[in-house]
Each structure stands twice: as C-alpha cells, then as structure tokens.
C-alpha cells in the first residue's frame, strides 16, 4: 500500500478538498483506496457523507491501538474507496499520546499490521505540526503539500520542509516529497499568478503541472456530503482533480504500485 500524507500546517489551504477529491479520482480509476481522516474537525468524513452514528471505529482507535486499519475502515458511497473517519475523541489524542513511549510511531505500527487490502492510502492531516501530523509523516512514504496561491504561501512552506527534514533524520529516512499542488488558483487575479510563478521558480519540478482552480462547485459539494466528482463531475475542479490523480500515478515508482 502506497501511503501519502496530505499535509500543510496552514488551515484552509485545500488539504481536505484535495484528500476527498483525489481519493475519489484514484478510486474511480480503479485503485483501491483508503482515506484516513486525521483531523479532529472530521471534515473529510463529513464531506464523504458519513454520519456521526456511522463512525463506529475511528482514526483515534487506530492511534490508540484499539482497532486495526481493516476494522476501522468503512466503505463509502464510492466503489473502491474506504474511509477511517475522525471522531471528536481525536482532539484529545495529542495529549493522550504524550504518555506513550512510541508516541510518534503509533499510526505506522497500525498500518504495518494490516495494509494489504488497499493500493493507496491518503491521510488528511490537521492544520498543525503536532503529534497527529508527526504520526502521519512517520507512517507514510511521501507527502503531498497543497499550497494556496497567496502572499505568505512560501513562508509557511519552509517551516513544513524543516519538519520533513527532522522526521527524515530521526524516524523516516525514506520520507519523500511527492509534490506541491497549487490550489484555489484564480487566473484573473494577478497576485495568484505571480505567487504561482514564484513557487515554481523556487521549487521547480516539485510543483505538479496540474493546478486546482478556485471553483465554487468544490466548496459546495461537502455540504451535500458528496465529493465534487460526484456532485458535478464536469466542473473545472473535478477535472483538475482527475488530472492531478493521473499526474500523481505518473510520479509513482512502478515497483511501489505493484507492491
């Protein structure tokens, strides 16, 4: 199972929107996917139509070792796409985890026990660099960074890259940056254009060619409990996420996809 964390410590940059729609696009292309909602706000779970009562097991149980990945994953309305939902318990997990000696490796341990049911796992990270995000960076092969085209985008990024370096040194030497996805791009806005150019000249090939446009359909879909790809599969946002999925698969080493 290929494991990818969708992370950026800034809130509102498109992590959850990317997690939901990329997972849906990958599942629609035939990959067996599991999305792990690691944000206590549970927006990915809600956005995929999961009611509170359906959240029997959660990512909290995974971290605490109370459920296996297989037990915690529930199927969604999308064929090939399962989700490990988040519940409010997760908001206490950062504090509870401090008690454990292996506090940074608990998600990885859960993944290592049972991961043969899926081809790809995406993790929707919370907007912080706390223990939840660290657990996911220890557990994954690579990180996908959604970056909103706004003035301070690059400043936040350097802090994230420092965290990635620290995780590589201490816990996960193979952790790779899969790519940076520019989100909420508005071509009529000269500042976003300028920021996109700056990001590309700074990060080069790390930036995905696919750009996610600002698209109101993407922001409407979660209130219907649907991925945009189901809510309106022809909107520009849905098309962009299908392209991003294609590009992402193209960046995967063939041996990892076969594993």
What does the binding site for ligand ADP look like in residue numbers (CB under 6 A)? Answer: 11-17, 43, 127, 183-184, 212, 214-215, 218-219, 222, 237
Nearer to ligand ADP, 82 or 239 (CB): 239
Nearer to ligand ADP, 67 or 218 (CB): 218
Among 15, 57, 108, 214, the residue binding Mg ion under the rule CB under 5 A is 15
Beta strands per DSSP E along the chain = 2-6, 33-37, 74-75, 81-84, 120-124, 142-148, 176-183
What are residue 75's phi and psi, to 5 degrees?
-80, 150
Choose the contact partner of 57 out of ligand ADP, Mg ion, none; CB within 5 to 8 A by kind.
none
The least distance separating ligand ADP from the CB of residue 197, rounded to whole angstroms, comes to 19
CA distance 168 to 213: 32
The least distance separating ligand ADP from the CB of residue 93, rounded to whole angstroms, comes to 18
8 binds Mg ion (CB under 5 A): no
Nearer to Mg ion, 85 or 119 (CB): 85
Q: Can you tell me which residue has the tokens 């990959």?
A: 31
Structure tokens at 212: 């996610």
24 binds Mg ion (CB under 5 A): no
Q: Which window, 13-21, 111-119, 129-137, 149-157, contacts Mg ion (CB under 5 A)?
A: 13-21
Choose the contact partner of 81 out of ligand ADP, Mg ion, none; CB within 5 to 8 A by kind.
none
Burial class (CB in 10 A: 0-12, 13-18, 19+), 259: exposed
What are residue 96's phi and psi, to 5 degrees?
-65, -35
Of 10, 21, 2, which is closest to residue 244 (Cα–Cα)?
A: 21
Residues in Cβ contact with 253 at an 8 Å cutoff, skipping those fewer than 6 apart: none
- Partners of 100 in beta bridges: none
CA distance 103 to 94: 9
16 binds Mg ion (CB under 5 A): yes
CA distance 249 to 29: 10
Nearer to ligand ADP, 67 or 133 (CB): 133
Choose the contact partner of 13 out of Mg ion, ligand ADP, none; CB within 5 to 8 A by kind.
ligand ADP
The least distance separating ligand ADP from the CB of residue 184, rounded to whole angstroms, comes to 5
The least distance separating ligand ADP from the CB of residue 117, rounded to whole angstroms, comes to 26
The least distance separating ligand ADP from the CB of residue 153, rounded to whole angstroms, comes to 12
Point out which residues bind Mg ion (CB under 5 A): 15-16, 39, 43
């Amino acid at each position: 199972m290929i494991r990818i964390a969708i992370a950026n410590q800034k809130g509102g940059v498109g992590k959850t929107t990317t997690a939901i729609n990329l997972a849906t696009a990958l599942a629609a292309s035939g990959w067996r996917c599991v999305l792990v909602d690691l944000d206590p706000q549970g927006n990915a779970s809600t956005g995929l139509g999961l009611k509170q009562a359906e959240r029997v097991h959660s990512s909290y149980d995974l971290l605490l070792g109370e459920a296996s990945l297989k037990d915690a994953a529930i199927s969604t309305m999308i064929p090939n796409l399962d989700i490990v939902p988040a519940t409010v318990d997760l908001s206490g997990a950062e504090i509870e985890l401090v008690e454990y000696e292996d506090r940074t490796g608990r998600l990885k341990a859960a993944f290592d026990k049972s991961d043969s049911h899926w081809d790809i796992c995406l993790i929707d990270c919370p907007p912080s660099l706390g223990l939840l995000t660290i657990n996911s960076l220890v557990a994954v092969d690579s990180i996908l960074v959604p970056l909103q085209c706004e003035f301070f985008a690059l400043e936040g990024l350097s802090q994230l890259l420092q965290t990635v370096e620290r995780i590589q040194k201490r816990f996960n030497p193979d952790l790779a940056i899969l790519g940076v996805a520019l989100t909420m791009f508005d071509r009529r806005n000269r500042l976003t254009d300028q920021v996109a150019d700056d990001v590309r000249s700074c990060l080069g090939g790390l930036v995905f060619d696919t750009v996610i446009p600002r698209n109101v359909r993407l922001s409407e879909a979660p209130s219907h409990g649907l991925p945009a790809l189901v809510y309106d599969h022809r909107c520009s946002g849905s098309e962009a996420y299908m392209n991003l999925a294609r590009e992402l698969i193209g960046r995967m080493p063939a041996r990892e996809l076969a594993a």
